[in-house]
Each structure stands twice: as C-alpha cells, then as structure tokens.
Amino acid sequence: MIKLEVIGDPIEHSLSPKVHGAALDAIGVEFEYAKVRVKGGELKDYLSHVKRDKVDGFNLTMPHKKDIIEYLSSVSEEARKINAVNTVCVRDDKLLGYNTDGIGFELSLNRNGYEFSRSRVVIIGAGGVAGTLAAQACASGAKSVRILNRTAEKADEICEMVKNNFPSGDIKAAEIKELCDKCENADIFINATPLGMRGVEKDFEDLSFLERLPANALVADLIYNPAETSLMKRGADLGLKTQNGLGMLIFQALAADEYYLEEKLDMQKMYEKVEKALNF
Ligand code: NAP
C-alpha cells in the first residue's frame, strides 16, 4: 500500500486524487490518495505529519511549488532549473523533489505527433506553467521560444530565468500587440492563460491571430474544461491541429507515479487507460 497526498490552498477542486487514482488503478497498485489543505507558511507542520504518519509522497500545487524547496534533501535538475517542485517522494526520511509538469506537457505533444525539439514555440501567458513550459522547450532543443503576456515584465522574468539555465536557447519576450506577427513563425502555439476556461468570465476577444499560424501548426490549450475551448474550435475550423490540457494533466500524474513507484511505465498505454477511466 502506498500512501500519497496532494497539498495546496485552495485544494477542494483539485483533480489530482481522481487522476492519480485512475493511474494507480491502471498500474494495479494499492494506494491511498488524500487532499490536504495546507496554507502558505504551513509547510513545516505539514512535513511533521508526513514523517509521523508515514506518507510516501505528495504532489504540490499553489502556493507551495517554490516554498517546499528549502525543506528538500535533493531537487532534480529540471525542478531546480525552474525553481518549482510538484512531486515529492519520501525515502528513508529524505525528501526528494521533482517537477513533472514540463515532461507531462511534452508527452502530450508527442501523442499528437509534435515535439519541442527544433520547433518554433509561441506561448501566451507568463505564469507558473508558462515558465515551466518555456524551460522544457529550451531543454528539449526548441528552435525558438517567444513569450507574450499582458504584464510584459513577467514575460521578461521568464526569459531571464530560462536564459540563465539554457544560455544557448533562443528565447525572447514580445509584446501582446506582436501576437499576429509571432504566430506567422510558430509550429506550436500554447495558451497558458485561463482565457476560455469554464468559470472564467473572460475569453479571447479576437482570435484572428490563429489565421496567421502555418497550416501544420498545433494549437495547444492548457485548459481541459471545457474540452474544446473557443481557441481550439477556431483553430480546428481553420484546419489546424488542436489539443486541450487533459494530456498534460494525465501525463504529469503518470510521470509523478513513476517517481513514487520507482518504476518505468508504458506511458502511452497507461494514458489510454487513464483517459478512459476519467471519462471527461
Ligand atoms: P498563473 O500563474 O495564474 O498565470 C496566468 C497567466 O495568464 C498570467 O500570465 C496572466 O497575466 C495571464 N492572464 C490571466 N488572465 C488574463 C486575461 N484576462 N487576459 C490576459 N492574460 C491573462 O496560472 P498558471 O498556473 O501558469 O496556469 C495557466 C493556465 O494553465 C491555467 O488556465 C491553468 O488552468 C492551466 N493549467 C493546466 C494544467 C494541466 O495539467 N493541463 C496544469 C496547470 C495549469 P498577468 O501576468 O498579466 O496577470
């Protein structure tokens, strides 16, 4: 029996128990997976519980992905480079930190026949996930990465962070008004904003930038609810390939489970089982 948890604040709406539950069922492992509300600044108390109650590992969401790092015995290279951890394994009282968001997204690209390697990538948004994906793109040998965001300074910060770790990466921030121009040279377009998400009032006001994407480009939304956002629908109407965020959600969980179980999984086979079990 493996005992796992997910922590964050808020945590009520986390899909992690469902996704990990489906994945661990598919793998055939006996498990417990609980949601625990841990407020910012309360990690120390939470870690006492981990030790006392013999928790084998935990996933992290807002606001802990950075703050956990000072408590860890080791941090994987990819997590150190983006300064964010989403998975912690407990081994012999040691806490080992990893980040599976980047690889999770890249596996979802691969499933649709795309890869970061040699691709020109345009990302809209400059929050936590945009930074992770920009770093993953550069780590995997993207030809270029362009980041555009409402708050320009945040895109600049991501570029600086990624440049520090991947000096040879061609990564630059661009202004939102340059979106159409940047799309002309994109193989992979990623929406890393909540625009178009169920429950979020705002959506893209103008999707004409999609018309500028090359015919074989991919429109990747990180949103999975709704399953087809207005961005994806317009992309599909234009004949472009599209994907939603479900692939990333499932693959990042499967990659975390590989760490928990210390076992390599057949990711594509497992994906199919988990997707079917989730029935979104
Ligand atoms: P975040 O840190 O809150 O960043 C959100 C970004 O979106 C910010 O750069 C923000 O711009 C921008 N934004 C928000 N509202 C906007 C608006 N009305 N107009 C223009 N830009 C706006 O979020 P995150 O954690 O990076 O997550 C980004 C997206 O990925 C969310 O939709 C989330 O649901 C999704 N996600 C999916 C998965 C998955 O597994 N599929 C995992 C994690 C996240 P400012 O900087 O100007 O505020």
pLDDT greater than 90 at residue 280 = no
Catalytic-labelled residue, pool 65, 94, 182, 264:
65
CA–centroid distance, residue 55 to ligand 1 (Å): 30
CA–centroid distance, residue 83 to ligand 1 (Å): 18
Burial state string for 240-265 with b = 16 or more CB within 10 A and e = fewer than 16? bbbbbbbbbbbbbbbbbbbbbbeeeb
The atom of ligand 1 lying closest to the CA of 176 is 20
* Residues sharing a CB contact under 8 Å with residue 182, sequence separation 6 or more, in sequence order: 122, 146, 148, 174
With a pLDDT cut of 90, the percent of the chain lying above it is 97
CB distance 186 to 121 below 8 Å: yes
CA–centroid distance, residue 161 to ligand 1 (Å): 18
| Residues 81, 103: Cα–Cα separation, whole Å | 14
pLDDT greater than 90 at residue 105 = yes
**pLDDT tens-digit series, residues 48-84:** 999 999 999 999 999 999 999 999 999 999 999 888 9
**pLDDT tens-digit series, residues 184-241:** 999 999 999 999 999 999 999 999 999 999 999 999 999 999 999 999 999 999 999 9
List residues near ligand 1 (CB under 6 A): 125-130, 149-151, 154, 192-195, 197, 202, 222-224, 245, 248-249, 252
Largest CA distance in the chain: 56
pLDDT at 279: 84
| Residues 233, 157: Cα–Cα separation, whole Å | 31
Helix (H) or strand (E) holding 31: strand 31-37
Is residue 182 annotated as part of the catalytic site, yes or no? no
pLDDT greater than 90 at residue 41 = yes
| Pairs from 265-269 (Cβ < 8 Å, separation ≥ 24) | 265/27, 267/107, 268/111
User: What mean pLDDT value characterizes the chain?
Assistant: 96
pLDDT greater than 90 at residue 248 = yes
Question: pTM for this structure?
Answer: 0.95
CA–centroid distance, residue 237 to ligand 1 (Å): 24
pLDDT at 50: 98
Q: Any bridge partners for residue 123, and if so which?
A: 147, 190
pLDDT at 121: 98
